[in-house]
Structure 1
Amino acid sequence: MDNALQSQLQKIPNEPGIYQYYDKDDKLLYVGKAKNLKKRVKSYFTKECGPNPKNSLRIQHMVAQIAHIHTIIVANEHEALILENSFIKSQNPKYNILLRDDKTYPYITINLNDCYPRFSITRRIIKHKDTLYFGPYPKGAKEILQSLYELFPIVQQASCLKGKKPCLYYQIGKCLGVCSIKDSNTKAEYDSYIQQAIILMKNTSKMQKVLESSMLSFAEKELFEQAKICKDCIDVLQETTKFCAVDMKKLYNADVYSFVLQGSNAILFKLFVRDGKVVSTHHQFVKPNMTNDAENPSQKELIREELACEIYTQALLKILKEGTLCDDIILADISTESLQTLKDSIPEFANKLFAPQKGEKLRLATLARTNALHILTHKTNLYAKQEQVLQEIKDLFSLDHEITSIEVFDTSHHSSSFIVGGMVSYVDYDFYKPGYRHYNLSGKDEYSQMREMLTRRAKSFDENPAPSLWLLDGGLAQINLALEILESSGARVSVLAIAKEKRDSKAYRAKGHAKDIVRSKHVEFRLQANDPRLQFLQKLRDEAHRFAITFHRNKKVGDIRKG
């Protein structure tokens, strides 16, 4: 270690804050928090300023790359935790693990204090004695709500209560018309339907039976749209009832988390327990930016524990921001020491956090871990297949670097009006929805539209780093355009294009006959329809097309409504 770094270590203050490690190329390696910066940073090094062998191999390897250190002092450890989380999300350091989860989980709620209570979807929890919450539902909240509207003639929209005369829902028998019919009998009938709906929401197995009966009844009457609504809700309920074997002896609310790491892949799995039953689950895959290939079992576990603490910390901060209805937060496979560290870091959860060793809480933690392991194993096998396809695409087109992230572009318009573009993002072997972007465009032809969209994307590389590959809807002209824009930006991005074959200079799109041509600047291929490389690129192209055309349609409908 050079004298400059040794001098920096001596100057680190005994204050709470965050520390940032940089390598010789000034790239950020790691961001951490500390109650005492000097004490924490020194724990990474020996007296001779080498990597501390008491730390994991992952940390030792990182310390060997540190060229300089930067610290930021804050008022207390909690502020340090918030700032650390913000830096990890904004800068994605090499040795930190980022929980890419910007979603909030939807609940179905109803305020019984309203004159005519109505069910609605919300992502905010405001605790009130007259407000009921059902969920959360990472998937399926809309389907459940729609099924309630099919089963009971209850108010569907807040605007319905502001009307002076019955709306369409009343005319087709899906509402009692409470906006204008305000007699006591109608009120009593409406309240009865609401109570019946609440009973079903609290008892999903009973709700499923009612929906199955209604689905058959609708089908017999050839009301297939209504039957499908019931079927969609049944599918959602079946997804959660597979966990019904877990039935606590008491009405108990808990959020259960399990972090599992396999090699370079990881998952955070969540069980939501409400009133003693698992009502829903959610999982997200995590990319640790490293492979846990330590040969020593204790070293391997130490690395897993470090990463688990980072992920659990980010998950807890998310709960702190959004609120939760749970009594306890159960963390699977975490040591007593790490649990205490989390409690000290986030005192709001000091009495809520548990790492159970026995009893029903352990049963929930085990269930979460079993499912996390099952899903991750399946995904890892899928990753291996997709990794092979990406390697084959790289080899086919002789690309000069690995494909780790892809952005796909498409435009959509109607008679040169409502011109829009869409960009979808593919990261870590999956579509990355937070990376999707819409573009309102002004170009009069497809070439100009693509230029405008790609130029705007290239200008945002400082804020959102460039991917390793761009995939365009088009041909050689679009590729040359993209390469020109990329050259001026200085970004190192490969470019491919996919388009339908042309006959007589026109795209030949007759169903069943149009073949896709995939090309780079120098070569083009007409791959067989069953070629995995073509199918993968088609999947990307089709998702970009769906995203762009959906935006186009929504924009067009919005304009019609304004008119």
Structure 2
Amino acid sequence: MIEINLEDIPKSPGVYLFKNKRGEVLYVGKAKDLRNRLSYYTKSSFLSPKINHLLSLAEKVEYFLTKNEKEALLLEANLIKKFRPKYNVLLKDDKNYPLLRIPIKEKYPSLQIVRKRKKGDQALYFGPFTSAKGLREILKLLSKTFPLRKCSLAEMKRRKTPCIYYQIKKCLAPCVNPIPEEEYKKLVDGVIEFFQGKGKGLIEKLKEEMHRLSENLEFERAAFLRDRIEDLKNILEKQAVVLNTPIDLDLWEYKKENTYEFFIVLFVRYGYLYGFQTFQIKNPLGETPAIKDVILQFYLEGKIIPEKIFLPEEIEEKEELESILCEAAGKEIKILKSSEKEEIKILRELALKNLENFILSERRREKPWYAGLSEELVETLKLSQEPRWIEAIDLSQFYGTARVGAIVCFFEGEPEKSRYRHYHVKTEAKDDYAMLYEVIYRRLKRGLEENNLPDLILIDGGKGHLETALRAAEDLDIETVEFRAIAKNIKRQPEKLYIPGRKNPMFLPRYKEVYHFIGRVMSEAHRFAKTFAEKTKEKETIESILDKIKGIGPKRKEILLKNFRSLEEISQAPLENLANLPGFNLKVAKALKENLKEFLTS
């Protein structure tokens, strides 16, 4: 067990790290008085078995001094994010719910769905929304009333003719039409009013405008507004008003069961309930509730921080937490204990009801069979901890073309297809190692940004492939993800296992369940990579043929690829459909069909 020399440790605020003999960080903690806090770990007879187990693995303790407790709290959060220690509370929040971004500083702002708020961004944000599909539906309906631009700034600057959205009256085409900024701003303000909970007032304004148009005998425009008013009413009927005042707040509830804690947060914006988010975390030491760590990790990851955050009970370091969140949000933030006020009481009841449902669903999802497999994985693959989240990477290409990488994800033994990812390899080098480095680097970099790194990554290959993966992780300063390489035999069955730090490979035991599980994971990665490579090759072939057809430039080619999946589909499309595509006409459509007929019959 680690020996802590208290005489060397100052009575100052700071952060301490327990490390094992390999230098890996096991636990990060913070203290108002480092000597006093670390003295706690010297009284082994009073400590829980979990803490004694942590201390038995620790080889040394390091510490950093800070000016005050607030700095210690922030440094602790940053070090936990960096090292993701096994014995700390870790929030794996990969559900970055969609936000609506309106870049109000631009001349002609657009409505953008994003997943994170950019630091220092002067755009206006609304959300989070729990359903991207639901948000897209709302924007689709709003675009009839507020026809704002849909294209990017770069696309708008390049465009010479209006796009299809102009033709269906869902965009004013500021790219080519000189629209007065004040007129466009009124449309933007209308959208902002809607998302600020002022939908009823907005409807009244539109009604006044509709009556004015009727009086001026502009019946067609009045009828158009009438239909838009009905659309807005339909949207508003689906929104739940939960507060009498239009304020922003998040309300949290949580419950502990054994080493797990379950959380729910309700998002209230402008008095409307936007939705909620639930998650489960493991509290390895279980000494104190994890809410403080969860709050910091949740809000410091690019989330919108509301003016008020309600918790079910008072927490320590409330003032320090408020100060950190104020700096992150650039406004005053208050952390409050949920009151008995009727509105808050109703929200709490709603939160607790949904939290109970979440806990029940998690219990149903529990897989006793995976516990045994998880232990086998640790033993066979020589892992430091049981892997709940496993990913496998495979590469594929066709003689140097259609070079792709693919990642599949298994959570607690089952495929999580929503987390599957594929990559077009950009590196010029043709060898496997360069391709693998790029794919792993991009995956890990995104994982750092979105706080969704897996526990284990399996790679199809040998020692060189494993070293390449480790180099990518080292270049990003990632120590929390474990890597293993699996070499297959001529029958494409897993055979050899390569482990970091070991010179020679180990043979996988065929009689164990873990062998069949690894085979299943690697086969799925191979299938996913191969399928994507085939699609990529098919697309490259289509592009190559379209490039040879006179009159089909880059823009027309892009439009065809967006609307059709194959050359056969293009050739079989009615002439009028092709002629009506943006940038096309009857002459171009005829030439395209004639040329394609030659290519397909030759």
- Give the TM interval when normalised to the shorter protein: 0.5 to 0.7
Q: Secondary structure at the match of 1:31?
A: strand
Residues in 1 aligned to 2:60 and 2:512: alpha-carbon distance in whole angstroms:
47
Residues in 2 aligned to 1:287 and 1:549: alpha-carbon distance in whole angstroms:
41
Report what 1:257 is aligned to. 252
Whether 1:331 aligns to 2:311 is yes
Q: 1:370 aligns with which of 345, 353, 359?
A: 353
Q: Could you tell me the percent identity over the aligned residues? A: 23
Amino acid at match of 1:353: I
- Give the CA deviation at 1:378: 0.9
Residues in 1 aligned to 2:118 and 2:85: alpha-carbon distance in whole angstroms:
32
- Give the CA deviation at 1:285: 3.5
Q: 2:147 aligns with which of 148, 153, 175?
A: 153
Amino acid at match of 1:255: D
Is 2:80–2:88's contact at 8 Å kept on the other side of the alignment? yes
Report what 2:44 is aligned to. 51
Is 2:381–2:484's contact at 8 Å kept on the other side of the alignment? no
- What are the equivalent positions in structure 2 for 1:487-502 lying under 5 Å apart? 489-490=501-502
Report what 2:32 is aligned to. 35
Residues in 1 aligned to 2:389 and 2:126: alpha-carbon distance in whole angstroms:
37
> Residues 258 and 98 (structure 1 numbering): CA distance in 2 closer, same or farther, change over 3 Å?
same
Is 1:287–1:428's contact at 8 Å kept on the other side of the alignment? no
- Give the CA deviation at 1:156: 0.9
Report what 1:384 is aligned to. 367
Report what 1:179 is aligned to. 175
Amino acid at match of 1:182: P
- Give the CA deviation at 1:417: 0.3
Residues in 2 aligned to 1:269 and 1:540: alpha-carbon distance in whole angstroms:
34
Q: 2:91 aligns with which of 67, 92, 99?
A: 99
Report what 2:338 is aligned to. 356
Q: Secondary structure at the match of 1:82?
A: helix
Amino acid at match of 1:456: T
Report what 1:479 is aligned to. 494
Normalising by structure 2, we get a TM-score of: 0.61
- Give the CA deviation at 1:271: 1.8
Amino acid at match of 2:174: V
- Give the CA deviation at 1:165: 3.8
- What are the equivalent positions in structure 2 for 1:140-539 lying under 5 Å apart? 140=132, 141-142=135-136, 144-149=138-143, 152-157=146-151, 158-159=153-154, 161-162=156-157, 165-169=160-164, 170-182=166-178, 188=183, 194=188, 197-198=191-192, 200-201=194-195, 244=240, 247-289=242-284, 303=287, 305-318=288-301, 322=302, 324=304, 326-332=306-312, 334-337=313-316, 339=318, 342=321, 352-359=334-341, 360-384=343-367, 387=370, 390=373, 404-414=388-398, 416-426=400-410, 431=416, 438=423, 451=461, 456-460=468-472, 463-464=478-479, 467=482, 476-477=491-492, 479-480=494-495, 483=497, 486=498, 489-490=501-502, 522=510
Amino acid at match of 2:30: K
Residues in 1 aligned to 2:28 and 2:58: alpha-carbon distance in whole angstroms:
12
- Give the CA deviation at 1:163: 5.2
Is 1:407–1:470's contact at 8 Å kept on the other side of the alignment? no
Is 2:15–2:31's contact at 8 Å kept on the other side of the alignment? yes
Whether 1:84 aligns to 2:81 is no
> Residues 126 and 177 (structure 1 numbering): CA distance in 2 closer, same or farther, change over 3 Å?
same
Is 1:458–1:489's contact at 8 Å kept on the other side of the alignment? no
Amino acid at match of 1:75: K
Is 1:405–1:469's contact at 8 Å kept on the other side of the alignment? no
Residues in 1 aligned to 2:16 and 2:168: alpha-carbon distance in whole angstroms:
63
Q: Secondary structure at the match of 1:306?
A: coil
Report what 2:11 is aligned to. 14
Ranges in structure 2 where 5+ consecutive residues have no aligned partner: 201-230, 437-459, 548-553, 558-602
Is 2:54–2:87's contact at 8 Å kept on the other side of the alignment? yes
Alignment root-mean-square deviation, CA: 5.3
Residues in 1 aligned to 2:69 and 2:540: alpha-carbon distance in whole angstroms:
47
- Give the CA deviation at 1:356: 1.8
Deviations 1:337-363 (A, max 9, x none): 464674587785986011224223354
Report what 1:217 is aligned to. none
- Give the CA deviation at 1:284: 3.5
Amino acid at match of 1:119: L
Amino acid at match of 1:355: K
Amino acid at match of 1:479: P
Is 1:479–1:521's contact at 8 Å kept on the other side of the alignment? no
Aligned residues: 472
